[in-house]
Amino acid sequence: MLNKQKLLIGGVLLAVLAGCSSPESRKQAIKNFDYLEASLATPLSTEGVGELEQDPRYSIPAIGSDAPADYLGKKVDVRSPSQVLPVLQGTYVNESADKVTVTFTEAIRGGSVKDDVWALMLNFLAQQNVATVSLDKTKGELVSDYFIFEETFGSFWNKTRFRSKEQYKFYLNESSSSRSASLAVELLDVSESIDGDLSSGTITPADKNRYETNMINRLLVFALAEHQRAAGNAQTADNRVPIELGFDENGLPAWLTTVEYDTVWQKLPLALSALNFEEKASNKTLGFYRMSFKQPTEKFWKEQGVRPFSLDKGDYLFQLGQSKEGQTVVTIFDKDKKPLSVQQVSSIYLSIADLMQKQMQVEAK
């Protein structure tokens, strides 16, 4: 009786483990690939019968010269093609473009469509904890740092952890009428690992298209949430920090907030001092703080519980102002009065956001 119970339990475990799917097996057809060993049958003989009439409707077309000869069996990805989901009103998919492209015809925040999409992208990257490697608004190009995505497949008995590390280049082009802007995305680099082991498989053109499509869809879902929040339809239960990335009236990268100017003026030096800035001078009438900065140690960042950033030692000018829409704007300049790059503005923003998140969690307790 005991042996029977062991056999039964063992059988159940095998069934559970067999039913678990890995990222690789999810791409493949179910069951085996014995058909690859099959050979062509001998054609039917029509001797003595006469010529048979053939119906071409069901003829299998010839394989093209560019078709990969080894695209067989387990190498065939049976998943349905990825599609861009234009969930945001005022967007549509550009099917004729070479790259995965979505066109925006309405501004989300109220400015020009192109500037609006730039701000949307910066805040999307910040929300994903991804830095901006380079941004050229004139060329309409943005290169991101690496996105990290993790998924777990299988059951309690046999979990498989899939991790991808992805880097992208975004292209933003404005129409001649300035009433729309098209955003395209290109996968620059990707690595995949399963349970910590790097995958040795190559990325096919179909895989590349799937990655690019998924990235556009993530951006559109984020844009929809931003649109709902701006319209007052979204709840703020996610404790969003009341500051976002954008551009000032001169097109320089800046921090934007709906918090009143006087409140920002009072709280900004406190937040900056927690990031190792020291106030040197200020003028509320002219709207600036001059702060000095010295790169702290790794221990400092860990104690503060915020993401680190790197800046040269020296003085920095934090210029406060108000936009036409009534937002408070903070633009940052170095000691030579040159604006900081979008990478630097974004990295300091991530640390500021961490500080605000911590403060809101304390206030909620």
How confident is the model at residue 110, as a pLDDT? 59
Give 10-residue mean pLDDT values along the chain (365 residues).
44 40 61 79 75 79 78 71 78 80 77 85 88 90 92 70 91 86 93 76 82 91 76 46 82 88 90 94 93 94 89 95 88 93 86 79 58
Fold of domain 81-230:
Alpha-D-Glucose-1,6-Bisphosphate; Chain A, domain 4 (3.30.530)
How confident is the model at residue 234, as a pLDDT? 42
- The alpha helices in 231-341, defined as continuous H runs, are 261-273, 298-304
How confident is the model at residue 112, as a pLDDT? 81
How confident is the model at residue 230, as a pLDDT? 62
Q: Which residues, including other chains, have CB under 8 Å from residue 346's CB and lie 6 or more apart? A: 122, 125, 126, 131, 132, 245, 253
243, with CB counted inside 10 A (0-12, 13-18, 19+), is: buried
Sequence spans of domains, the chain: 81-230, 244-364
Tell how strand 197-198 and strand 91-93 pair up: unpaired
How confident is the model at residue 131, as a pLDDT? 86
How confident is the model at residue 328, as a pLDDT? 92
How confident is the model at residue 363, as a pLDDT? 58
198-245, pLDDT tens digit by residue? 776 677 888 888 899 999 999 988 888 777 666 654 444 444 557 888
How confident is the model at residue 282, as a pLDDT? 94
For the four alpha carbons of 22, 23, 29 and 34, in that order, the dihedral sign comes to negative
d(CA 33, CA 36): 6
Helix (H, G, I), strand (E, B) or coil at 158: coil
* Number of other residues whose CB lies within 10 A of the CB of residue 162: 18
How confident is the model at residue 145, as a pLDDT? 93
Can you tell me which residue has the tokens 């001078």? 281
How confident is the model at residue 352, as a pLDDT? 87
For the four alpha carbons of 85, 90, 96 and 98, in that order, the dihedral sign comes to negative
How confident is the model at residue 231, as a pLDDT? 60
How confident is the model at residue 78, as a pLDDT? 67
Homologous superfamily, domain 244-364: Outer membrane protein assembly factor BamC (3.30.310.170)
